[in-house]
Amino acid sequence: MESGQINSIAVLPFENRSGDADTDYLSDGLADSLIYRLSQLPNLKVSPTSSVMRYKGKETDVAKIAKELEVDAVMSGRLSQRGDDLSISVQLIDARTKKLIWAEQYDRKMADLLATQREIATTITQKLELKLSGNETGVSKNTQTIMRPTSFTCADATALPSGQRKKCFAPSNTSSRLSSSIQNSHWHMLGSPKSMALCRPILTFLQERPFLKQSRCRKALEIDPTLSEAHTFLAYAQVIYDWNWAEGERSFKRALELDPNNFSAHFRYGQIYLLPVGRVDEGISEMTQGLKAEPLDVNMAVAVVWANLIRGQYEEALEQMRKIHDLEPNHPLSRSNLASVLIEMRRYDEAIALCEKGLQDDPNHQLLLSEVGIAYARADRRDKAEEIIARYRELEKTQWVPPTRIAVIYGALGEKDKAFAELEKAYEARDWDMHRLKISEDMRPLRDDPRFKALLKRLNLPE
């Protein structure tokens, strides 16, 4: 190529030209599948779905997008469906020179969608002149049998009614949408028994009880012990639900040994294991390595800021968090984590105003309720803090409220007995936040209490 080697690429969401928003699952699913297939190539950096979805439905400015995502090339496309007929057009542009590298038109049947995905991915690798490892199609062995944990790409898209196909393809990073997709999908659509067994642990991970989460992961590893993502999910369950820190670290290390480029394993190893045990610098290093693969992922970015908050680097954390909030002002994590930084800096009025603004849009947003409750308590506005607790009690009648969110407000109010009563509930319920007990800034008012040290011991955490 005249423009030189392409080392990084962004695959934008495909434009849906079908005239039917219900077929967005096809255009989104196709781009997401291509992202995953290309990400298996060891010599190519691929922007993840979470980074490119912001460009969906927007004017394509290749130079601007490439600069924001720090990539050499940008791939875009259009998809049109008419009955069982699919028309897919794809183009790949070198963002450095604005030259067209490749363009192609594919006219296929719906039943050939998966084969078309493979064909496009293979053609791209050839056009990019990449030296591939693995099989001749340019896709690693796991790509043929397992889908991304954040999307559901069906082997046979025609096996489901349109509504269920839409759920199946929809990219998702949230437990509620995962649950919706799981409940409305048929397992047989995933293809062979092997592919079904490998997909189940990921698709059901947020749905099932802790022992089942591990059972599913172990089943996948029996079929293929080299599956890095299964080791990652197993480590997650071992730490979060078993509080088995030694086994969890072994699983994380095994995942990274099998795939050093598993950015999710790097990030979760830092966030889920290293930070909670107090190895903060190592944790930030691993998380930062993972964040490089998803620079625009708000969930990951705020976790890195939270880590800096633990180190007491408040000004740096505030600067980072403001940038994230400016980028995604309505994202619930950007609001709640910015409020958390402001609280630690004792800028309570700012934190309260920020949270209350968010609660106008979503009065029952639990993260914002927790932060504003802490802010009210630390600002000596006891009546307002107690109002927040009362709102939580109402929410408990209709939905799950992690007891830790109430405990931290009681702690800020100085009501230690009530705080520890909530923490005991959290322990029994395997509250997700319990694994962060040792390092959470919100737990600072409780740390000098003997009951806190006893709780750390029960969590198998060092004091």
More confident residue, 383 or 290: 383
Q: Which of 90-99, 179-188, 385-394 has the highest mean pLDDT?
A: 385-394
In angstroms, rounded to a whole number, what is the distance separating the alpha carbons of residues 455 and 424? 9
Pick the more confident residue, 129 or 233.
Answer: 233
Question: What percent of the chain is predicted at pLDDT more than 70?
Answer: 78
Sign of CA dihedral 184, 189, 195, 197: positive
What whole-number distance in Å separates Cα of residue 13 and Cα of residue 77? 8
* Mean per-residue pLDDT of the chain: 79
Mean pLDDT across the stretch 324-352?
90
pLDDT of residue 129: 58
> 154, 166 in Cβ contact below 8 A?
no
Task: Check if the beta carbon of residue 74 is closer than 8 Å to that of residue 95.
Answer: yes
Q: Report the alpha-carbon distance of residue 169 to residue 51 in Å, rounded.
A: 17
CA distances from 211 to 87, 149, 176, 243 (A): 45, 19, 20, 13
Question: What pLDDT, on a 0 to 100 scale, did the predictor assign at position 50?
Answer: 74
pLDDT band at 448; cut points 50, 70, 90: very high
Residue 200: the pLDDT is 37
Domains recognised in the chain with CATH numbers: 8-144 (3.40.50.10070), 208-294 (1.25.40.10)
CA gap 243, 240 in Å, rounded: 6
Residue given tokens 């897919």 in the structure block:
88
Q: How confident is the model at residue 208 (pLDDT cuts 50, 70, 90)?
A: very low
Q: Residue 386, Cα to own-chain centre: how many angstroms?
A: 33
Q: DSSP state, 430?
A: T
Task: Provide the whole-model pTM.
Answer: 0.61
**Radius of gyration from C-alpha coordinates of the chain:** 23
305 three-state secondary structure: helix
Q: What is the mean pLDDT of residues 142-164?
A: 34
How many whole angstroms separate alpha carbon 365 and alpha carbon 367? 6
Long-range contacts of 423-429 (CB under 8 A, 24+ apart): 423/455, 426/402, 427/455, 427/458, 427/459, 429/402, 429/403
Buried b (16+ CB within 10 A) or exposed e, 296-324: bbbebbbbbbbbbbbeeebeebbebbeeb
One-letter amino acid for residue 101 of the chain: I
How many CB atoms within 10 Å of residue 188?
12
- Higher pLDDT pick, 183 / 97: 97
Section 228-252 average pLDDT: 91
- Portion of the chain with pLDDT greater than 90, in percent: 42
The listed range with the strongest mean pLDDT (167-171, 210-214, 442-446) is 442-446
**Phi, psi for residue 28 in degrees, rounded to 5:** -65, -40
Report residue 333's pLDDT band, with 50, 70 and 90 as the boundaries: confident
pLDDT band at 434 (very low <50, low <70, confident <90, very high): very high
With tokens 């922007």, the residue in question is 47
- For residue 236, CA distances in Å to 229, 232, 248, 257 come to 11, 6, 7, 16
365's torsion region: left (phi>0), alpha (psi -120 to 50) or beta?
A: beta
The highest-confidence range among 167-171, 208-212, 380-384, 395-399, by mean pLDDT, is 380-384
Angle in degrees, CA 418, 421, 423, rounded to 5: 115
pLDDT at 22: 63
Residue 81: predicted pLDDT: 85
The pLDDT of residue 159 is above 90: no
Q: What is the pLDDT of residue 360?
A: 92
Per-residue pLDDT, 334: 87
Q: How many CA atoms lie within 13 A of 339 on its CB side?
A: 29
- Residue 201 CA to its chain's centroid (Å): 16
pLDDT of residue 3 exceeding 60: no
Cα distance between residue 281 and residue 275, in whole Å: 8
Q: Which helix (H) or strand (E) holds 36?
A: helix 24-39
pLDDT value of residue 176: 37
| pLDDT per residue as tens digits for the range 23-57 | 676 777 778 777 877 776 767 888 887 788 888 88
Q: Tell me: pLDDT of 272 over 90.
A: yes
Per-residue tokens: 360: 């106008």
Q: How many other CB atoms are found less than 10 A from the CB of residue 222?
A: 10
Check if the beta carbon of residue 337 is closer than 8 Å to that of residue 434: no
Beta bridge partners of 75: 11, 92
Q: Is the pLDDT of residue 231 over 80?
A: yes
More confident position, 429 or 197: 429
Give the model's confidence band at 340: pLDDT under 50 very low, under 70 low, under 90 confident, else very high: very high
Six token digits for residue 237? 């369950």
